Amino acid sequence: MKLKKTLAMIIGAAIAVSSFAACSDKDGEKESGSGTSQTEETPEEIRDITSWDLVKEMKTGWNLGNTMDATGGSGVDAETSWGNKETSKEMIDLLKSSGFNVLRVPVSWGTHMDDQYNVDEAWMARVKEIVDYGIDNDMFVILNTHHEEWYFPTAENKDEDIKQLTALWTQIAEEFKNYDEHLIFEGLNEPRLRNTPSEWTGGDDSSRAIVNEYAKAFYDTVRNSGGNNAKRHLMITGYAASSNRSCLEAIDLSDFDDKVIVSVHAYLPYSFALDTKGTDVFDPATDASSIDTLFADLNDLFLSKNIPVIVGEYGCVNKYNPEERIECVEYYLNAAKQAGVPCIWWDNGAIVGNGENFGLMDRSLPPAWKFQEIVDAIMSVYSE
């Protein structure tokens, strides 16, 4: 980020933080998506609707991956530390003009907090600037915590984890308290027992229960903050955001209101969509069953009870097989659309190579779609 731009954001943010909260004196004006100017002292009008109704307004989305969630470098330089370009307004304008109406902004916060859990002012200001790119385009924006190394769902760690989680969401909630329903908070991303044999196998009863405690702390913190946050729509994540039925069944929503959304990640079928050493062929006759099972489980556990779900991450890596990827995307999204579940493509900016190449957008200026045919396939599902 250019130094002048960074300095302007720091001055404009003027966030005063304490050990558990950051209160911002917002004076100045913000342009809303409708083009009407209003002071940030005044909350934007927020509709009092259920998440079930809100999610019906969402079509399809895109993740700003490996960007604000990158953990290299220091300060605002972390944004580009994993090799992606600085996020531009033009990128988000391209999303909007292409038909996406949901932007998920993954953010790593732990590397931008001091030992009293205060968030760096410049980092918060940069996050806000990117969120506004989406809000000003009349998009739904999902803001989360991502690649956090500090939460680890065990009995020994949970108290301090909840202390830090509460401190963090107190500050985020304060910063964004005046935004309307287009801004959605997602408390955690894939909370799990990292680097253990059960990391990706569903954890155990204890870890899944502790993830529920994290979710409750996130929910209570936001609900008890000011402005529009009493009506803020919140995404609740189970263990590892897993689509495994045992993890989905463990999600406890019993103490929440009707403004919550279940968050799930599902790269399916795994061998084709995520496993870089797996197959490059999508065969509906054999591969569609995992997709069908996902939406059947979501319907059984949540949708049939008017509890909305968002697939916060999906996609299929580039194995130099565009036709196969298109076929998978169309099958996946048609199933999701029929179920009423918006899906958000994971774009990590990686285009070619042997890794997890989920990139669709060339983020150079001017930005452009590297795989226009996949974007077209996504939009074809929602054109009717």
Tens-digit pLDDT profile for residues 343-384? 999 999 999 888 899 999 999 999 999 999 999 999 999 987
pLDDT at 76: 97
pLDDT of 247? 97
Residues annotated as catalytic (active site), given as ranges: 190, 313
Annotation: CATH topology of 3-11+48-381: TIM Barrel (3.20.20)
The string of pLDDT tens digits covering residues 66-88 is 999 999 988 999 999 999 999 99
Percent of the chain with pLDDT over 90: 86
Over 70: is that where the pLDDT of 284 sits? yes
**Section 39-50 average pLDDT:** 83
Question: Among 17-31, 145-159, 243-257, which is the least confidently predicted range?
Answer: 17-31
Can you tell me the mean pLDDT for 217-237? Answer: 97
Once rounded to an integer, what is the mean pLDDT over residues 157-178?
98
Question: Band of the pLDDT at 35, cuts 50, 70, 90?
Answer: very low
Q: Average of pLDDT values for 132-141?
A: 98
pLDDT tens, position by position, 74-128: 899 999 999 999 999 999 999 999 999 999 999 999 999 999 999 999 999 999 9
In Å, the largest CA–CA distance within the chain is 59
Residue 285 has pLDDT above 80, yes or no: yes
> What is the model's pLDDT at position 42?
80
Query: Could you report the per-residue pLDDT of 302-353, keeping only the tens digit for each?
Result: 999 999 999 999 999 999 999 999 999 999 999 999 999 999 999 999 998 8
| pTM for this predicted structure | 0.89
